[in-house]
Amino acid sequence: MSIHFTRIDTPIGPLLLAASDAGMRAIEFRNARHPVKRGDDWVEAPHPLLDRARRQLEEYFEGKRRSFDLPLAPQGTPFQRQVWEALATIGYGKTLSYGQLAARVGKPAASRAVGAANGRNPLPIVLPCHRVIGANGALTGFGGGLPTKEFLLRLEGSLPRQIL
């Protein structure tokens, strides 16, 4: 199965979008800390799902979209996928701490492991890892960089008070 990819320009810089017939595989920042592994099956070519993702991301950045309606096919361990599924339950304009996210996946003592899985999220924005913040409200690590995390939270109206 081929993985199609394209690049788009956004207010937070260029993003790489990748999809297969199974669903979205990756949304990647220019200087991703954990880039998705690419193989010979990756082709820079059109795909209807990439067009749909581009449109939905444009609507999100214009403030017209609060959730995404895309089939997703992220590749990871069962624990990572469990954390990524939990990210999808964090509503627009809301934030959770790593501890709260760990509790949400049924592992309240595993906030570090949850943080590591969060950091390897291959579908940022769509699976909103930017909505996970420190217990004290601090913006903590983010694959797109803290200025990008701040931009996304500000766009959603959920920037912690001490940052405003």
Is 89 in the same domain as 143?
yes
pLDDT for the residue numbered 164: 46
Q: Out of 87, 96, 123, 129, which one is annotated catalytic?
A: 129
pLDDT, mean over the chain: 93
Mean pLDDT on 147-155: 95
Q: Report whether pLDDT(1) > 90.
A: no
Number of domains composing the chain: 2
Question: pTM for this one?
Answer: 0.93
Q: Are residues 152 and 90 in the same domain?
A: yes
Assess contact for 61 and 74: CB atoms under 8 A: no
CA distance 96 to 18: 27
Instruction: Quote the CA–CA distance of 105 and 79 in Å, as a whole number.
Output: 9
Are 29 and 96 members of one domain? no
Is 66 considered catalytic here? Answer: no
Which range marks the domain in which residue 136 is found? 78-156
What pLDDT sits at residue 161? Answer: 66
Digit-coded pLDDT (tens) for 93-107:
999 999 999 999 999
Answer yes or no: is 164 within a domain: no
Mean pLDDT calculated for residue range 54-83? 97
Given this model, what pLDDT does residue 163 score? 52
Same-domain status, 95 and 144: yes
CATH label of the domain that carries residue 100: 1.10.10.10
More confident residue, 117 or 138: 117
Residues 44 and 15 in one domain: yes
Query: Do both 82 and 146 map to the same domain?
Result: yes
Q: Indicate if 42 and 88 belong to the same structural domain.
A: no
In this prediction, residues 63-70 reach a mean pLDDT of 96
Q: Are residues 83 and 152 in the same domain?
A: yes
Residues 99 and 135 in one domain: yes
Residue 33 tokens, joined: 């800390």
